[in-house]
Amino acid sequence: MQVREILRVKGATLYTATPQQSLASAIDTMAELDVGSLVVMAGGKMAGMLTFREVMQALKQHKASPEALSVGEVMVCEPVTAFPEMEVNDLRYLMIEKHSRYLPVLDGDTLMGVISFLDVAKAVLEEQSFENKMLKSYIKNWPDEPQV
């Protein structure tokens, strides 16, 4: 299974913020949409990623209210990315190795969507369930061996 298949099932809805936006409004957006990340866009291109991890680290480090910080001060400027042809196993290893729960998917310079660790888990579970059903069906309908 490839990343493009996960995106096709998940959909390519993107939730975004701008670098100038206050961290407080980004937090509100994430909470309202029940998402763990926002793609930070500037000039029509991805400028970075904001996840709850960066939010928590910023609040602890700066000891400031979220109104006093901007998304641009907190975001990851060069996030780890995936590409549509990447195999899911490679994606899982990359996410684990880089401790990234959310990866933007780029096709060249075009942002295709964001894949979360939850999206990967769901896709793998569905694929395994389908394979399991197929194998059980095959075993149940196993042809009789000819008697010799």
Kindly report, residue by residue over 54-63, the tens digit of the pLDDT.
999 998 887 7
Report yes or no: 128 and 122 within 8 Å, Cβ to Cβ: no
Report yes or no: 26 and 38 within 8 Å, Cβ to Cβ: yes
Predicted structure pTM score: 0.79
pLDDT of 142 higher than 80: no
Query: Tens digit of pLDDT for each residue in 80-122?
Result: 999 999 999 999 999 999 999 999 999 988 999 999 998 888 8
Domain range list for the chain: 3-140
pLDDT of 38 higher than 70: yes
3-140 topology per CATH: CBS-domain (3.10.580)
